[in-house]
Amino acid sequence: MTSWILVTDAGRARLFSTELRENAWNLVEEFEHTAGRETSCDIENTSPPGRMQQGDAQGGRRTALEPRTWPKEVEAEHFAQRLVEFLEAAIAKRDYDQLVLVAPPHFLGMLKKKLGQQSAKKLLVSIDKDLSKFPTAEIRERLVDAVFPQTAAH
């Protein structure tokens, strides 16, 4: 049984694969999203505050007074979508049997919300931690029990 472990934040991700608890984890893919690491001020905003926009529905108007999505949030959504599309394509090819998602809480929520039905069925566990900057050996050490839960048969 092939387990995929996606360790990510809003700017980078590493996808590992393993089959047995004692096996090393192999890097399947690395993803970079540099805009996800920028501050909202550094990301070009396509809709400056105070500008009126025509709405699509019945000639309605939107103003800058409505809740807005910050550019950094939009970039995080784009990256989450890119990662989920990769996972969806892989599950269609039966590349993995179970999935573990590891990300900071907010980004983890984005990923889980975007997961398709097939990938969601394969989700073994989701862990709300930012381990994206850790070396592979430390990530494995911290997560091996979550990926391969041991039975309490002592």
Q: Total structural domains in the chain?
A: 1
Domain, as residue range, for 18: 3-38+70-147
pTM listed for this prediction: 0.76
Closest to 139 in 3D by CA, of 3, 14, 28:
14
pLDDT tens figures, 11-59 = 999 999 999 999 999 999 999 987 655 554 454 544 444 444 444 455 5
Distances (CA, A) of 90 to 15, 62, 85, 86: 12, 39, 9, 6
Query: What is the average pLDDT across 89-107?
Result: 96
CATH number, residue 77: 3.30.420.60
Residue with tokens 């919300």: 113
